Structure 1
Amino acid sequence: MNPDDFVFTAPTDPYIVCWRDLDPTSTTEELERLADWVTWATTRYNLDHKAIPPCWPHHGAIVEELSALRTFWESCYQDDAAPSDPLAFHRDLTLAVRRLRDWTSVLGCSRTIHRPEQVVES
């Protein structure tokens, strides 16, 4: 898959999602929207299943991280963005990929296996 096959333009304003406040229908719609960006980003940055497993939509922390990355990416390409904003995105992308790899490792998910998260009771 060629990264240039995916064309994204930043919206008028960065799109911020508060996942906690979404109803089930809105959650599904937002996950589909985020999936388009994740597909582009994993191709563009050559990210493998060790950073973003195929089951990422089933893991809250990974969804939150990817959503935040998308918002940051979108904000970097606004008309009023600073010329250095894309560099800031790439600096933070490096840190985010480390966190994504850590979470995926702890979860134990792989390219072919999804492991549901253990519910921690208080």
Structure 2
Amino acid sequence: MTRDEPPGPINWNVLDADQAEVEWRDLDRFVLWLKTSFGLSPSIVPPHWHRHDELIWELSALHLHFLACYDEVASPSAPIVWMREFAEARHRLREWVSVCGTRLDRDRPTRQTGWPGEKVEAPGVEVMIEDRTADFEEFVRADVLRRRRAQATVDQQLLG
């Protein structure tokens, strides 16, 4: 998990397509390492974590904190700080998973509660999880394509 530059905050809302693809793959490697190294159950890190914004942001923050705490210029005590933060993050992850409704074998979009006057979309349907890796690849492909199309629209508006 070596980078050419020090880690900085990642704002998933503003990444371009190329940045997003790199960050998705980097985060996925970290999440798989985390799940395996610490024996995390699906109640903490479910297979479809990538389909839930609340889990993406939490895991991304944990990843960046890990990179900073285990950087070669970090304080020798930084790893224990990361372990303490990881313990707290596990509690938050468990809560997020409980609220969003994703599980080991099934997933559904996180339910949204509308405020008065807001249009709320119908809740998504629950799907069986057949192949986590294939789903992740499709998710990343769709996200990168969406970002490319958005950038092309902006470019077209600026030029035309």
User: Normalised by the shorter chain, which TM-score bucket?
Assistant: 0.7 to 0.9
Structure 2 length as normaliser, TM-score? Answer: 0.65
CA distance in 2, matches of 1:117, 1:43: 25
Contact 1:10 1:77 in 2 (8 A): no
Cα deviation, residue 22, structure 1? 2.1
Higher alpha-carbon Rg: 2
Structure 1 length as normaliser, TM-score? Answer: 0.83
The size of the alignment, in residue pairs, is: 115
Output aligned runs, 1:70-109, within 5 Å. 70-109=63-102
Question: For the structure 1 residues 29 and 79, does the alpha-carbon distance in structure 2 shift closer, same or farther, using more than 3 Å as the test?
Answer: closer
User: 1:32: which partner in 2?
Assistant: 25
User: 2:128: which partner in 1?
Assistant: none
1:50 corresponds, among 19, 36, 43, to 43
Computed over aligned residues only, the root mean square deviation of the Cα atoms, in angstroms, reads 1.8
The superposition leaves residues 67-111 of structure 1 with CA deviations (integer Å, 9 ceiling, x where unpaired) of: 111111111122321111000000000000000001101112110
CA distance in 2, matches of 1:25, 1:110: 30
Question: For the structure 1 residues 77 and 29, does the alpha-carbon distance in structure 2 shift closer, same or farther, using more than 3 Å as the test?
Answer: closer
Cα deviation, residue 17, structure 1? 1.2
Structure 1: gaps spanning 5 or more residues: 1-7
Structure 2: gaps spanning 5 or more residues: 116-160
2:54 corresponds, among 24, 48, 61, to 61
Instruction: Give the % identical residues.
Output: 32
Cα deviation, residue 31, structure 1? 1.8
